[in-house]
């Protein structure tokens, strides 16, 4: 990619439903709530939006499914889908259109209805290339990463379980402060450690839940952002990287890193001018689909040195009052994972934090935020990363 | 949309498989053939492409499904889906990225494996908003348009059948000249008229077939196009319009027009500077999913006056040697409709024609081409339109 999105696009409105069991609401209802919250936040009517992107994986077909609930009148509406990174990919698309000067106001909406879809999450079969792979469940795929990591760095099983539980404990503690989270209770470490086994070493409490939800974001050219509000949020980078299948193409891969994440983060830092993410970021929302994912991401995103991520977790570096808060909103762990919505839900927390609107979760003086959204499995996935800033100009 | 794509992007390579029954090939194989044909045509290697868009509706999930067959190494790959307009939407996405200056070389690949999917085409249930619509098959939906049109303009049933058959006859006649078409035989008018009834007045020969296929397109900034080849093709416009559901929101709608198409074409003509499409276009590839669709499109696209489309069809205006050839490659009628691939297959014919490479189908002196790609049903759809030119500058 030859050029960067740095300071070319800004967010001027966002909305997010509560995530959870919405048995009485359809995807339509959830999109209406999120999109109108974003419009209201930006002070816009739907007919002032020039183009739309809809991110959903399993809740319907085609952008046209957004037309009727929002009463969109003959505008471009495109559906995008990239596994669990779908939400951020819808946002990336909207940013591209604005950056190209092809629209003045673009909206990305992410939505998923999971709870009555028969999609349990735990039973999700892994994706394998036709004829070349073995099907595993998602928890098993990420459990293998945990075991590989513990083996490589000499953590015994009990110590490993302690580290993973610390991540779930932190995220539920943060989520307890968030009115939009699905689960809003702190969970004692003891209960996490003793949760029923799903795929060793992961228990139920190491897995994110299944939820319904929707989130929406409105972007405009950065130079016009202050016309919409006094406190817009500036896009410093959006990158996306799809993998070639480390598991089959790379015999050196030892399951303790997600290469797509390493590359997407590196490109995003370059676009945003970040050399020391641990110090330069005020917060990060990362894809904690399972607790070992978050542990390994701390290293892949450059927050911890290789082999040190687990120790930083235990030391509280990523706690809400730590050196670099990670998943201050509670993460997938507290929100559950309505696939198309999660990436934009992450952006929503960044948007609140950077504008000082995160209430009891507010990180004092937050200036720069990262979101990290992963779709697929450790050995072949999409990683979409964004970096947002409170102000225009260098980070 | 505030700005236009006019002369900002150019096509420098394309590939297209034969469409048809490829029981021995997977979506992977088809994508490899189309993408490598496009790369070879542009004189590029896959690692020189900065970003990819994959259009598929039912043949898989996520852009990552393109990574392994093409051996893409850590690049952005996004899947888009917008019903039967999916292919053109992938192309639109690639054009936006290039226009934004976010990549130097972008590729869009469309693919669908239909023949062993259990997707018969004729049995496709129509899409209805939850709880508000009635399910009908796609042939029935477009048959209703035919009947409404015949009633409005006073064509008796026999005359109506004659007009529709003339369209199928023309498209098969064109397809017989095309080595990539699924059906490469002329079909006598008599046989078309007598084909078994599917949804009155449509017989089997009024319906496009089901096929497997893939097509790929490579775009670059227009100002760099001549670095890649001496005969690039310039993008004059790409528009996309999603409908609000004319059937439920607009009581004036009489089923003889597709409003999304009217709007998308009007916007595209404005971008491209076209005031008289019938004279200024050298050819048009349109979405002839059923014969009445093509008949009505002739009016919606401004090629015929209202109520005159059927007469222009009968008069041969849209024949290969007519005033404005429509579907010179044989259309969906001859190719079948592998959903994600069709829009890019249309672009492929435009690309060949504008470069004088269409062999026995060549339209002498072709300078400007339109593609029209429809996804959904007459009362709620997506229409994606492109206009391409042989040279930079005004049409």
**Chunked in runs of 10, what are the mean pLDDT values of chain A (395 residues)?**
85 98 95 98 98 95 91 94 97 98 97 81 44 71 96 97 98 98 98 96 96 98 98 98 72 90 97 98 98 98 98 98 98 97 98 98 98 93 97 96
The answer to whether the Cβ–Cβ distance between A61 and B81 falls below 8 Å is yes
B197-212: per-residue pLDDT in tens? 999 999 999 999 999 9
The H or E element that residue A238 is part of is strand A233-242
Residue B129, pLDDT above cutoff 70: no
Give the closest of B71, B76, B96 to A241, CB-based: B76
Encode B276-297: b = buried (16+ Cβ within 10 Å), e = exposed.
ebbebbbbbbbbbbbbbbbbbb
Chain A interface includes B223 (CB < 8 A): no
Per-residue pLDDT, A251: 77
The answer to whether the Cβ–Cβ distance between B240 and A89 falls below 8 Å is no
CA B164-B257-B208 angle, 5° bins:
40
The answer to whether the Cβ–Cβ distance between A375 and B62 falls below 8 Å is yes
DSSP state of A223: G
Report the residue of B25, B68, B83, B264 to disrupt the A interface, i.e. the one with the largest count of A CBs within 10 Å. Answer: B68
Q: How far apart (Å, rounded) are the C-alpha atoms in residues A215 and A30?
A: 8
Chain B interface includes A191 (CB < 8 A): no
State how far the alpha carbon of B90 is from the alpha carbons of B109, B157, B238, in Å.
Answer: 7, 39, 11
Mean pLDDT value of segment B2-30: 94
Residue B251 C-alpha from the chain's centroid: 29
Q: Are strands A77-81 and A51-55 parallel, antiparallel or unpaired?
A: parallel
Q: What is the pTM of this model?
A: 0.96
Radius of gyration of the CA atoms of chain A, in A: 19
Among A residues 103-142, those touching chain B with beta carbons less than 8 Å apart: 103-104, 127, 129-130
Is B337 assigned a catalytic role? yes
The Cβ of residue B101 has, within 10 Å, a number of other Cβ atoms equal to 18
Give the catalytic positions of A in this structure. Answer: 84, 337
Per-residue pLDDT, A325: 99
Which among B254, B20, B227 is positioned nearest to B151, based on CA atoms?
Answer: B254
Burial (CB count <10 Å: 0-12, 13-18, 19+), residue B118? exposed
Q: How far apart (Å, rounded) are the C-alpha atoms in residues A351 and A348?
A: 5
Mean pLDDT value of segment B293-299: 98
Q: How far apart (Å, rounded) are the C-alpha atoms in residues A89 and A55?
A: 7
Phi, psi of A233 (to 5 degrees): -120, 135
Query: Is the distance from CB of A355 to CB of A368 less than 8 angstroms?
Result: no
A33-90: per-residue pLDDT in tens? 999 999 999 999 999 999 999 999 999 889 989 998 999 989 999 999 999 999 999 9
Residue found by looking up tokens 């009052």 in the block: A321
Per-residue pLDDT, A350: 98
Residue A342's contacts (CB-CB under 8 Å, 6 or more residues apart) are A84, A87, A110, A213, A287, A332, A335, A373
Which among A70, A32, A60, A83 is positioned nearest to B242, based on CA atoms?
Answer: A70
Q: Which of B16, B22, B84, B95 is catalytic?
A: B84
Chain A interface includes B64 (CB < 8 A): yes
Nearest Cα of chain A lies from the Cα of B391 at a distance, in angstroms, of: 22
Which residues, listed in sequence order, are joined to residue A215 by a DSSP beta bridge?
Answer: A16, A110
Q: How far apart (Å, rounded) are the C-alpha atoms in residues A178 and B114?
A: 45
Residue of chain B with shortest Cα separation from A93? B93
ipTM of the complex: 0.95
Q: Are strands A380-389 and A368-377 parallel, antiparallel or unpaired?
A: antiparallel
Is B84 assigned a catalytic role? yes
Residue B293: both structure tokens together: 């669709």
Per-residue pLDDT, A133: 54
Chain B interface includes A102 (CB < 8 A): yes
What SS3 string covers B65-129? HHHHHHCCCCECEEEEEECECHHHHHHHHHHHHHHCCCCCCEEEEEEECCCCCCCCCCCCECCCC
The answer to whether the Cβ–Cβ distance between A376 and B64 falls below 8 Å is yes
DSSP state of A270: H
State how far the alpha carbon of A323 is from the alpha carbons of A168, A326, B236, in Å.
Answer: 18, 10, 51
**Which residues of chain B does A74 touch, with a Cβ-Cβ cutoff of 8 Å?**
241-244, 259-260, 263
Q: How far apart (Å, rounded) are the C-alpha atoms in residues A296 and B21?
A: 45
Per-residue pLDDT, B2: 45
**Which residues of chain A does B64 touch, with a Cβ-Cβ cutoff of 8 Å?**
82-83, 127, 242-243, 375-376, 380-382
């Amino acid at each position: 990619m030859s050029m960067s999105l740095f300071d070319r696009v800004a967010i001027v409105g966002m909305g997010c439903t509560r995530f959870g069991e919405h048995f009485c609401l359809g995807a339509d209802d959830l999109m209406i709530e999120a999109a109108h919250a974003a419009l209201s936040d930006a002070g816009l009517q739907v007919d002032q939006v020039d183009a739309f992107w809809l991110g959903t994986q399993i809740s319907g077909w085609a952008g046209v499914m957004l037309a009727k609930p929002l009463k969109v009148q003959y505008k471009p509406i495109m559906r995008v889908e990239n596994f669990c990174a779908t939400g951020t990919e819808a946002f990336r698309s909207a940013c591209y259109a604005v950056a190209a000067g092809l629209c003045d106001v673009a909206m990305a909406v992410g939505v998923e209805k999971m709870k009555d879809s028969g999609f349990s999450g735990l039973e999700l079969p892994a994706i394998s290339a036709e004829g070349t792979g073995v099907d595993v469940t998602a928890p098993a795929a990420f459990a293998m990463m945990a075991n590989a990591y513990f083996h490589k760095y000499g953590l015994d099983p009990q110590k490993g379980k302690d580290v993973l539980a610390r991540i779930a404990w932190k995220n539920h503690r943060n989520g307890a402060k968030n009115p939009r989270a699905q689960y809003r209770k702190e969970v004692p470490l003891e209960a996490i450690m003793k949760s029923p086994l799903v795929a060793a070493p992961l228990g139920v409490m190491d897995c994110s839940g299944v939820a319904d939800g929707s989130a929406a974001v409105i972007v405009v050219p950065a130079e016009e952002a202050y016309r919409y509000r006094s406190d817009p949020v500036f896009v410093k980078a959006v990158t996306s990287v799809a993998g070639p299948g480390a598991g089959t193409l790379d015999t050196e891969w030892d399951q303790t890193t997600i290469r797509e994440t390493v590359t997407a983060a590196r490109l995003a830092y370059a676009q945003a001018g970040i050399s020391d993410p641990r110090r330069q970021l005020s917060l990060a929302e990362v894809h904690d689909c399972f607790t070992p994912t978050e542990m390994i991401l701390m290293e892949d995103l450059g927050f911890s040195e290789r082999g040190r991520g687990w120790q930083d977790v235990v030391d509280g570096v990523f706690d809400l009052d730590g050196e670099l808060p990670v998943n201050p909103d509670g993460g997938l762990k507290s929100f559950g994972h309505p696939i198309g919505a999660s990436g934009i839900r992450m952006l929503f927390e960044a948007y609140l934090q950077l504008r000082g609107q995160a209430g009891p979760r507010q990180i004092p003086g937050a200036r720069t935020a990262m979101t990290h959204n992963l779709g697929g499995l450790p050995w072949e996935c999409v990683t979409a990363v964004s970096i947002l800033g409170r102000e225009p100009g260098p980070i």
